[in-house]
Amino acid sequence: MADIHIDDFCRDAALTLLHLYSAFPRRTSLYVEDIAGPDEPDDVGLHSDRHMACLGTMLWLAEEGYIRYEAMVYQDGIDQAVLTGRSFTLLSSLSDVRYEDPAPEMPAAVAVEKMTLVEQIRAALRSGESRKVTAIMRYLLSSPATVSRLPDVPMPDNPEGCAS
C-alpha cells in the first residue's frame, strides 16, 4: 500500500519551500490553507488531520533547518517565515534530477536557471504526479547544502545597461 501521508508531506514541503523562495529574502506569513487548501474546523474547533499534517510539515522544515519563523499563528500557519541559507543554496543549485530539460534554442543563462532544483520542483508539481514530487523532494532532503559549479555562460561583450 502506498504511503499517502509521505506523498502529502513531500507536496506540502515542496509548496512551502516554493512560497518562501518566491518571497526570499523577505519574511512572510505562510498559512496552511495556502498549501493544503481550505479547512473547516469541526464542531469543537479541531482542524482536520490533513490540515494538522501540513502544519506539522512546516514545523518539521523549521526543526530540520530548512526554514525559520518567528511565531505560529494559532494552528493556522507561521509568521515571519523565511528560507535558511541552506535551503536557498539547495534550491538555487543545479539538480541531478531533471523532469524538464531546457529547450536547445534557449539562451544559455536561461537554460542554466531551468536546471536548478527549484525549477525541477516546479516541473514535478506541474506534472501532477506524486511520484515525481516525492522523488525530487527526497533528493532535496538528502542533499548536502553545497554550491554547484555552474556551467560557463557566455556573456555579451557589452551587456545592455553596463558602462564601458
Sign of CA dihedral 70, 66, 29, 23: positive
pLDDT higher than 70, residue 143: yes
Q: In the prediction, which pLDDT does 161 show?
A: 46
**CA-to-CA distance for 22 and 146, rounded, in angstroms?**
21
3-state SS record for 16-77: HHHHHHHHCCCCEEEEHHHHHCCCCCCCCCCCCHHHHHHHHHHHHHHHCCCEECCEEECCCE
Whether the full predicted model's pTM is greater than 0.95, yes or no, is no
Q: What is the pLDDT of residues 31-53, one digit of tens each?
A: 999 999 988 888 888 888 899 99
Which three cell numbers mark 16? 512551502
**CA-to-CA distance for 32 and 36, rounded, in angstroms?**
6
Q: In the prediction, which pLDDT does 155 show?
A: 45
Q: What is the pLDDT of residues 1-18, one digit of tens each?
A: 468 889 999 999 999 999
Q: In the prediction, which pLDDT does 58 show?
A: 96
Q: In the prediction, which pLDDT does 152 show?
A: 52
> CB within 8 A of 127, min separation 6: which ones?
99, 133
pLDDT higher than 50, residue 156: no
pLDDT higher than 50, residue 133: yes
Q: What is the pLDDT of residues 94-132, one digit of tens each?
A: 877 777 777 778 777 777 777 889 999 999 999 999 999
The beta strands (E) that lie in 84-163 are given as none
**CA-to-CA distance for 3 and 72, rounded, in angstroms?**
28
Mean pLDDT of 140-159: 57
Mean pLDDT of 127-147: 84
